[in-house]
Every structure is written in structure tokens, then in C-alpha cells.
Amino acid sequence: MSLSVDTMRTIDHRVGVPLCAVFTPVVWLMDKIIGLFLGKPATPRKVLFIELSEMGSAIIVDPAMRDTQARGAEIFFLIFKSNRASLSLLNTVPPQNVFTIDSSSVMRMAFDTLKFLLWSRARNIDTVIDLELFSRFTALLTGLSGARRRVGYHIFHGEGLWRGNMLTHKVHYNPHIHIAKNFLSLIHAAFSSAQETPFSKIHIPDSAISIAQAVIDPQVRLTVLERIEQLAAKAQHPFNLGEQPLFLVNPNASELLVQRRWAPERFSALIVELQRKWPDSLILLTGSPAEFEYVENVRIGAQVTSALNFAGQVSFSELPALYSLADVMVTNDSGPGHFSSVTDLHTVVLFGPETPALYGSLGKSIPITAQLACSPCVSAANHRKTPCSDNVCMQAISVGQVMEKVAIQFEAARA
């Protein structure tokens, strides 16, 4: 089990701020000394991306990583061990170029951090791209990595998000464009031959943030299909792919932001409506093995025989195969909305505390949001932490609204 989100936020603030204050002059002095002997840093050749805590971001950053590769650089990645699997969906980063930090305890994090500082130097990492939004921990990792080019988001004249001065290329974080475009802005800064204040003074078209598609092993796809057919037969609801609709319902959302959850009873009601509109359909409720009980409560609430608890039935690497079999998925704003974008799956994603304008899926997705005056209530400015304990933004989304979008996506999927 990993450290809780609140614990990590507390450590990041109470320990991270003073450490950033201590190491900022150290990093500045080292830059000056190295610059005197080696001159200006060369064009990036070995680029390390740092994104620790968000599994979905490992997918959204893929256009930026491919852009880096197209510029002739070798790419590396630093991520929490618990999120490592997210990089395997597209395999853009060679496995040997991924370093993981164990976040299950403070001691293990500290030990792996020290190992990382040696690892980055042993591989001659010359450029670090800090993808995190104003994390002091990643700022320290970036500043102490040994890389001469260090790119990330800087607060400039803002208040409350100070994390030292570890960056050589300071990029303006734009909360009004998709995060995938913000990531590409970092790449422009990394390869720029001239300084800009702030980076990056470029236009990034929508076409630049298209997601690559996963290569799905036919045997894996067949294995997942057989698993579905066996479970359906056991429930006395035989399933024939192509003849019957297959819907995926992902009712949970991670502990990072529980306010993103649409109520379990709403998902139960949605399942009832799906079965009513498509009587011969099979409905799979998805989730991780740890979410089995949560998913089971949703299934029991629906009392629909064609709805099956599929939580924990596929490994992370098998998700693309599962998504390639289904017609439509309905999910909270969480990882599956992004993981499915590496396939042709049509999705309906429910947003509340966050906005699809910034974190929308890059796949064949339709977002739903109530657009309340208070929403989105989480952002980089508050480290994605909200005081809200009554997520009216999610409660305002009706089953009817979701069904309307599902019908549109189903028609598109079968076109």
C-alpha cells in the first residue's frame, strides 16, 4: 500500500519547501561552475520525463514523448512503482529506460530517490522534463538530477506555489489549454536555442496531440474474449461478439480525488437503462482487483442478470484488448478514460471537479459536465485538493443525459 495522497501532500509542503530553499543556491552554484568549464549545454540527446502520481498522464504525455523522439533524442521516464504499468500500454519508452520509486513508505521513497540520483548520472541524462504541476519533490529531483537542461512549470508572479529555482527553462503553465498541449510546450522549451520569458511562444494545433494506437496481440484479444464468454455463460447469459452489444461501465475513481465519483446508485440505474434499451446486451462492470467489492455493490443495486462484475478479470496489459472488444464505455473522469484512448473504443466520461477542456480524453470520447459556477474546483493552484464534501457537480449529471450520449456513441461504434 502506498502513502496516502494527503500524507504525500503534507510532506511535499512541509519538507519540500525548506529543502527547495536549501538546494536552490546549491544548484545555481553548480550550474555556474559547470558552465565555466563546459560552456553552453548541447542539444538534448537523453531526455528524462518525470511524472510520478498520475497514471492517465503517462498516456496524455505520449505525443510529447514522440515529438522528443522525432527530434532525435532518447527518452527516459521516472514514475512511482505503483503506476509503472501505465507506460506499457504504448511502450513508447524502452523498459530499461524507466526508473520507479516505491511510494509505499517514506524510507523506501528516500532510498529510491538516492538511487535515482545515481541512476540519472550513470545514464548521462542531459535534459529533464518535469511534468508535475508545481510539486516540490519533483522540483528537487529535477534540480539534483545532474542534467544541465531542466524544464518545468514556473510560477513567475503567482503566489503560493513556490518550489525554488531549479529550472533552466521556465515554462508558463496555461490552465486554458489541454494538458497535452502544455506538455508539448515543455518540449519546445527544451529544444529551443534561445531563451523566452516565459516559454513557450508557439501555437500548438489540435492535430499535434493525437494519441498513438496500441498494438493488440490477437491471442491476448482472444483470451480476453474467452474469459468474457465463460463468465457470461456461467451467469446464463451467453454472449456472441458482434451480434450483441458489449458495454463497459467503470463506476469507481481513484483515491486521488474521490469527488470525481458519480454515485453508485446512479451507475446502478444506468445499467438498468442500458439493459432496457439494448435487452440482448452484455454489460461488464470494470475495475481493479481492489475495487471488486465497490463494483459488486453497484451490480447488486442494478439487479440486472446481464450485468457482470468484471473487476480484476484482466491485467493492466490486457486492457487494450478488452477495450477493442467493447462498443461503448461509461466512466468517471479517471484512468480508463485515458487508457481507452489508445484504442477505437467510444467512451462517455463524466466530469465534475475537473474540466474536460484541460483533462479530456484524447480518444473517441464525449465528456459530460454540469458546468457549475464552482466547477472545476481543483487546479494546479490548489494542488488538486478541494474542500468540497458534497459533489453536486456529479450529482447534477442525470442518467438520462448519460444514456443520450451512450446512444450517440453506440451508433458511431456500429457505423
User: Who contacts 390 (Cβ-Cβ below 8 Å, separation ≥6)?
Assistant: none
What pLDDT does 253 receive?
76
Q: Are 346 and 388 in contact (CB under 8 A)?
A: no
- Domains 5-209 and 218-414 alike in fold: yes
- CATH architecture assignment, domain 5-209: 3-Layer(aba) Sandwich (3.40)
User: Who contacts 80 (Cβ-Cβ below 8 Å, separation ≥6)?
Assistant: 2, 52, 53, 100, 101, 102, 103
User: CA 278 from chain center: how many Å?
Assistant: 32
Q: H or E stretch including 46?
A: strand 46-50
Q: Measured between alpha carbons, how far is 192 from 199 in angstroms, rounded to an integer?
A: 9
What pLDDT does 384 receive?
81
Q: Measured between alpha carbons, how far is 382 from 388 in angstroms, rounded to an integer?
A: 13
Secondary structure E strands in 154-276: 169-171, 246-250
CB-CB neighbours of 29 under 10 Å: 10
Q: Measured between alpha carbons, how far is 370 from 375 in angstroms, rounded to an integer?
A: 8
Residue carrying the nine cell digits 481543483:
378
What pLDDT does 2 receive?
66
Q: Are 365 and 337 in contact (CB under 8 A)?
A: yes
- For the segment(s) 218-414, the CATH number from 2.60.40.420, 3.40.50.2000, 3.40.640.10, 2.40.10.220 is 3.40.50.2000
What pLDDT does 198 receive?
95
Listed by start position, the domains of the chain span 5-209, 218-414
User: CA 385 from chain center: how many Å?
Assistant: 17
* Mean pLDDT (10-residue bins), the chain, 415 residues: 78 93 96 92 96 90 98 97 93 96 94 98 98 95 97 91 94 95 98 94 96 96 97 94 96 82 96 97 96 96 96 95 98 94 97 94 97 92 87 96 98 95
Q: Are 170 and 156 in contact (CB under 8 A)?
A: yes
What pLDDT does 53 receive?
85
Report in angstroms the alpha-carbon separations of 228 from 22, 202, 277, 309, 348. Answer: 56, 47, 21, 11, 22
Q: Measured between alpha carbons, how far is 113 from 102 in angstroms, rounded to an integer?
A: 9
Q: Measured between alpha carbons, how far is 49 from 64 in angstroms, rounded to an integer?
A: 10
What pLDDT does 1 receive?
54
pTM of the model: 0.94
